[in-house]
Amino acid sequence: MWCDNCLLVLPLRAGAIAWAVVIAAYSLGGGLFLLMYGQYLYFVYPEWFIYGGIGIGVCAVAAINMVTMSNRSYTWSRVCHFLWPFIIVICAVRAIFMIWELHRGREKIIWECENGGQLWGQSEEQGYGNRMSFPNGICAPGWQSLFTAFIFSLLIDLAFQMYMYFMNWRFMKRLQRYSSMKGPYGNGTYYNA
């Protein structure tokens, strides 16, 4: 006997849509943060753009998944089922590099926090700066708290994405199983996923 609701925290379709909204929201916020302030945390030029771009990409896939669930689209659920494993692997590699590079730039980040949020000297000389200064709220808790928060948030991100992949798979299987149902106008029963 197959269990339709095993390992589901929320109802399948509505819960998956809500989960996709959460993933899209924090991925968009994190991606924009890295695009605007990444030069204060990562010190090799395209690095923060790559990390922020991956976050925006995750937001896009979550938005596609959200629309897929709301439209009950089997084709797009297959597309998302194909994309999520690649996204998860790319985000796992990104998390490793982000943690590694954040730890490697520890002294530079501490220097930036101790000097009023100004950009590290070599980064400023190479033209990485913009008109914004480093937010004081990030420096206030201290280096170890910042580092722990980044590690924790990256691991939570990976767990959320894996669960979204699972919910997309369950939704796709439910659509496959009920594909022979005709709907209210074909003398069949109406399926409401």
Q: Tens of pLDDT along 14-66?
A: 889 999 999 999 999 999 999 988 888 887 788 889 999 999 999 999 999 99
Does 182 map to a domain? no
Contact yes or no for 140/124 (Cβ under 8 A) = no
Domain-embedded: residue 86 = yes
Range of the domain at 78: 12-122+134-174
- pLDDT at residue 1 in the model: 38
pLDDT of 126: 57
134/4: higher pLDDT: 134
Residue 2 has pLDDT above 70, yes or no: no
More confident residue, 108 or 134: 108
pLDDT of residue 130: 63
Tally of structural domains, the chain: 1
> pTM of the full predicted structure?
0.83
- The proportion of the chain whose per-residue pLDDT surpasses 90, expressed as a percent, equals 45
Reduce the DSSP state of residue 140 to 3 states and report it.
Answer: coil
Residue range 168-181: mean pLDDT, rounded:
79
Give a yes or no: residue 184 inside a domain.
Answer: no
Domain membership of residue 186 (yes or no) is: no
SS3 state of residue 101: helix
Long-range Cβ contact pairs of 175-181 (< 8 A, separation 24 or more): 175/72, 175/74, 175/77, 176/74, 179/74
Q: Residue 24 falls within a domain, yes or no?
A: yes
Q: What is the largest CA-CA distance in the chain?
A: 73
pLDDT, the chain, mean: 83
Does residue 148 belong to any structural domain of this protein?
yes
Looking at the domain assignment, is residue 23 inside a domain?
yes
pLDDT band at 183 (very low <50, low <70, confident <90, very high): low
